[in-house]
Amino acid sequence: MLTANLSRKLRYVAFACVACFSGTGIAGPAEDTKDATKLYQQGKLDQALSKVNSALAQQPKDAQGRFLKGLILTELKKGTDAIQVFTGLTEDYPELPEPYNNLAVLYAGQGNYDKAKAALELAIHTHPSYATAYENLGDIYAQLARRSYDKALQLDKGNLTAQGKLSMVKDIFNLPKVAAADTTKSVPTQVAVAPKTDPKADPKADPKVEPAKAASTTTTKTANVALSGNASEDAKTTVLAWAKAWAAKDTAAYLGFYAPNFETPNGMARAAWEAQRKERIEPKKLITVDVKIIKTSVQGNVAMVVFRQIYRADAVKSDNTKTLRLVKTGDRWLISTERSGS
């Protein structure tokens, strides 16, 4: 359907701890909000909603708690309630572009492109360098153009110019011919998982591989990574191969890049973490993971690779810095720590 395809194109901004609100003078999250964030990361949405509601009962104006609540409600398919939360944020904190952007995605999921367009224009007005909003606005304009070309062809089926333009728009979104009535149906919007806030890894730490926290539920396989013998280059090659396996949705190969002693988020059991990764990767229709290496350092059997990661999957887009700590295990480099943020 039209809205489903658009939702896969639009970019939703997920909760990024204090990142979204840095420099605004807004206080950091309360403990209950931090707990709610962990529950949200673990996919425990009902518990996360209860916890964030408890936090907001004490601090009803907490921007970060309210933003997180909007994300949780969206995941719970409560789009109307999520719209109410993000609308309230735009009223109380009009300087923040992220709530406007998320409102636009929710409106677009309902087929209300005029409201989506208005919200994105406000996001850009508050933050003229907000690339995500510009990209989303372009998608909205394309859909509005599609509607107009469709209408032109309804009135004049022989209009070859309109046919050509409509075909171009369909190619962008991979759209079939859709009746106008279908554009009003609501499609849930997917959101990204909140980045972890693990402590910085120490490159001088003992690189010994420890026993896994729990047995794996996924049959992993050794990825075909051509190594050169140059530790720094081989660490980079490993990271690129890991990203390639992720984008290909080859979860067996992807999980095979993680060391048995990998530090799972929030102390999750290894089996539960692997199952969660499979659930979040395999259903996606299309994933792209662009990696731009910033810095690589090697000390003995430990390598630290810092890179910019541009991730796209269905309706989700993230652009952040990530650090992977790799340990040399036999003739392979394996990920022992994964951390987002600079």
Residue-range domain boundaries for the chain? 2-184, 231-340
pLDDT in tens, 230-245: 999 999 999 999 999 9
DSSP letter at 62? -
Give the separation between CA 72 and CA 281, rounded to whole angstroms: 19
Report residue 153 as tokens.
């062809």
Determine the Cα angle at 50 with ends 45 and 54, to 5°.
Answer: 145
DSSP string over 212-227: PSS--SS---------
Q: Find residue 323's DSSP bridge partners.
A: 306, 339
Give domain 231-340's CATH architecture: Roll (3.10)
Q: Which CATH class is domain 2-184?
A: mainly alpha
Q: Which pLDDT tens digit goes with each residue over 67-112?
A: 999 989 988 889 899 999 999 998 988 888 888 988 988 988 888 8
Q: What are phi and psi of 299, to 5 degrees?
A: -135, 105
- What was the pLDDT predicted at 144? 80
CA-CA distances (angstroms) from residue 342 to 11, 195, 197, 295?
22, 12, 10, 12
Q: State the first-to-last Cα distance of the chain, in angstroms, to the nearest integer.
A: 39
The pTM of this model reads 0.46
Encode pLDDT of 252-307 as tens digits.
999 999 998 899 887 778 888 898 899 889 988 899 999 999 999 999 899 999 99
Tell me what pLDDT residue 255 has: 93
State residue 224's pLDDT score: 61
- List the structure tokens of 305: 């690779």
Q: In the block, which residue shows the tokens 């003229």?
A: 128
Are both 2-184 and 231-340 of the same fold? no
Cβ distance 310 to 320 under 8 Å?
no
Residue 58 CB contacts under 8 Å (≥ 6 apart), including other chains: 30, 32
